[in-house]
Amino acid sequence: MNERYEAVWAMLAAQPRETLGFFPTPLTRLDRLSAQLGVNLYVKRDDFSGMSLFGGNKIRKLEYLLGDAVAKGCDTVFTYGATQSNHAMQTVTACRRLGLTPILYLNAYVQPDENDVRSNMLLDRILGAEMHIVESLPGETEAQTEARCFAMGREHAARLEAEGHRCYDVPMGGASPVGSCGFIGGYLEFVQQCDDLGIDPDFVYTATGTGGTLAGLTAGHRLLAKRARITAIAVSPKDAGYEARCAALGTQALRQLGSAETLEAADFAVDRGYFAPGYEQPNAAATEAIRLLARTEGLLVDPVYTGKAFAGLLDHVRTGKVPQGSTVVFWHTGGATALFAEKEILGDLSQED
């Protein structure tokens, strides 16, 4: 094995970790769409991460996050997200596997119907999670609603701690230095697969929300000194400081592993042009991308994350930002359960085109 690879695996092996997912996830070429677009298009199937069929790639983070929780003797785990959060549902699933009690504080971007509970909320209910749905107050921004969720979670955890429980807080999306270690490992897994296939990608595309996945992938990219350009498609509004925060998170993950490498905001390419009108709100480009991928390759992506990310990739190819003949990898972060969510999230997907 390459000495650099061995060194990174050794760093990762020193971290507390619980085995939850099914790795390595496949890396495969999309032959029909490659021919149509004029690029060599591959997909990294992190929608196959496990441990269930649903949710997506957050299990990579949760192996390290809940490994840390178990090592610290915790019995209860708090996390946060939207009502249809993939991360929240996967946290519940992983907690059940490890005998931990999951507690969710979820903000309602889309108001759920108690008479027709769908998608990840249905799975959360089947799994028996303790759920607290937090509605936005009049005039409150999304960030303010999220801040209230965090405050309510902290107060709840303090009450449980006073009763003798040990609680572990998993931030929204698992975006922490510990969680991002999972995607340093994911990037190492990926480059070894590329070596096995004899490919050297020019571009890697992924969706980005809270930034933990992107921070880990970019940190892995730095450690392994690969040339591929990582481009992230934002699935929600991002302010001008987003790249700097991702750099700080990735740097902290590197420190967690004992590396002295440092990331800067300039290491991150984030395209904000494809999320409108907002998070969990569909748009025509994502709908077209979902249908094209489904009808060309039989591969499903979702309207919240991967559909918008794939729309960005398609537009970059069609407009020449990705030159013809390039080798491109789409990192499929999962989340197709959103195809069974509320109609406000689906948009026109259920209609004939």
Dump the DSSP string for 47-86.
Answer: GG--SSSSS-TTHHHHHHHHHHHHHTT--EEEEEEETT-H
Same domain, 217 and 198: yes
Same domain, 310 and 193: yes
Q: How high is the pLDDT of residue 95?
A: 98
Same domain, 278 and 308: yes
85 catalytically annotated: yes
Q: What is the pLDDT of residues 215-236, one digit of tens each?
A: 999 999 999 988 899 999 999 9
Decide if 97 contacts 77 (C-beta within 8 A): no
Same domain, 112 and 131: yes
Decide if 251 contacts 263 (C-beta within 8 A): yes
Q: How high is the pLDDT of residue 281?
A: 93
Q: Is 38 helix (H, G, I), strand (E, B) or coil?
A: coil
Q: How high is the pLDDT of residue 353?
A: 77
State the residue for tokens 């490498």: 261
Q: How high is the pLDDT of residue 265?
A: 98
Domain of residue 138, CATH code? 3.40.50.1100
Count of CB atoms within 10 A of residue 308's CB?
28
Q: How high is the pLDDT of residue 111?
A: 82
DSSP 131-150: EEEEPPPTT--HHHHHHHHH
Same domain, 100 and 113: yes
Task: Say how far apart CA 175 and CA 236 lie, in whole Å.
Answer: 15
Which H helix or E strand runs over 203? strand 203-208
Q: How high is the pLDDT of residue 109?
A: 80
Task: Say how far apart CA 262 and CA 219 lie, in whole Å.
Answer: 8
- Final residue belonging to a domain, choices 116, 146, 174: 174
Q: Which burial class, exposed, middle or buried, applies to 334 when counting CB atoms under 10 A from its CB (0-12, 13-18, 19+)?
A: buried
Same domain, 157 and 124: yes
Same domain, 257 and 325: yes
- Final residue belonging to a domain, choices 145, 174, 203: 174
Same domain, 213 and 272: yes
Decide if 127 contacts 93 (C-beta within 8 A): yes
Which residue of the set 34, 49, 85, 350 is catalytic?
85
CA angle 296/297/302 to nearest 5° reads 95
Evaluated on CA atoms 13, 211, 20, 26, the torsion sign reads negative
- Final residue belonging to a domain, choices 122, 155, 174: 174
User: What pTM, to 2 d.p., does this model score?
Assistant: 0.96
List, for the chain, all residue ranges whose pLDDT scores fall below the cut of 50: none
DSSP H helices in 163-283? 177-197, 212-224, 242-256
Same domain, 68 and 142: yes
Same domain, 203 and 158: no
CA dihedral of residues 193, 22, 246, 321 (deg, nearest 10): 40
Task: Say how far apart CA 142 and CA 65 lie, in whole Å.
Answer: 25
Decide if 129 contacts 104 (C-beta within 8 A): yes
Same domain, 158 and 194: no
Same domain, 216 and 154: no
Specify the number of domains making up the chain.
2
Q: Which domain holds residue 143?
A: 59-174
Q: What is the pLDDT of residues 253-290, one digit of tens each?
A: 999 999 999 999 999 999 999 999 999 999 999 999 99
Could you tell me the two tokens for 110? 């889309």
Task: Say how far apart CA 46 and CA 38 lie, in whole Å.
Answer: 24
Q: Is 300 helix (H, G, I), strand (E, B) or coil?
A: coil
Q: Could you tell me the strand order of the sheet in which 27-29 lies?
A: 27-29, 40-45, 327-332, 203-208, 229-234, 269-271
